[in-house]
Each structure stands twice: as structure tokens, then as C-alpha cells.
Amino acid sequence: MDMKRTWQLQEAKNQLSTVVDKAIAEGVQTITRHGEPVVVVISTAEFKKISQPKQKLSEFFASLPSHGIELDLERDKSPARDVEL
């Protein structure tokens, strides 16, 4: 099986179905333009896996003290400034 993972743009355009099939079966497919990587093609399953947060925001903030990070999240109770209208 061809394990190619880098495609020149013109080649990727001509073989888009193959690029997509390989992204699903083998993982990331990189497309280059003028020899420079410009785009990657990944499966929807892989995209969902990397784009989902690993934890809820509340869990993230709750875990900060265990990493030696202290946040003061108490609201400033000083009166609001006067604004002339």
C-alpha cells in the first residue's frame, strides 16, 4: 500500500478522492504549494477528536490550584464610575 502523506497541489486536485480515502484510512494528508505545506486533509472523526475540549471550562479553572496557579475571581465591588450623558 502506498503510504504517501504529502501531495503537490495539482496532484491532490487530480486525485482528490484518493487523498480523502487516504485521510480516512491512514491519517493526515498534507498538500503543498511550491514545495511548502499549505493545507492538511483529515477525516471528520480526527477533526472532532482534536477540536473537542478535553475538559469543561469550569473543570479547567478548578484544576488551576493543583498546578500552583491561583486566580482571584472575586468581583470588584467598588462603585461604578459616573458617566456624563
pLDDT of the residue at 3: 54
CATH number at residue 20: 3.40.1620.10
Please indicate, yes or no, if residue 74 is contained in any of the structural domains. no
In which band, very low, low, confident or very high, does the pLDDT at 1 lie, cut at 50, 70 and 90?
Answer: very low
Q: Which residue has the higher pLDDT, 78 or 73?
A: 78
Distance CA 8, CA 18 (A): 13
pLDDT digits (tens, 9 = 90+) for 11-49: 999 999 999 999 999 999 999 999 999 999 999 999 999
Residues 28/50, Cβ–Cβ less than 8 Å: no
User: CA-based Rg of the chain, rounded to a whole angstrom?
Assistant: 24
Please indicate, yes or no, if residue 73 is contained in any of the structural domains. no
Distance CA 29, CA 64 (A): 36
Which sign, positive or negative, has the C-alpha torsion 6, 52, 49, 20? negative
Number of domains forming the structure of the chain: 1
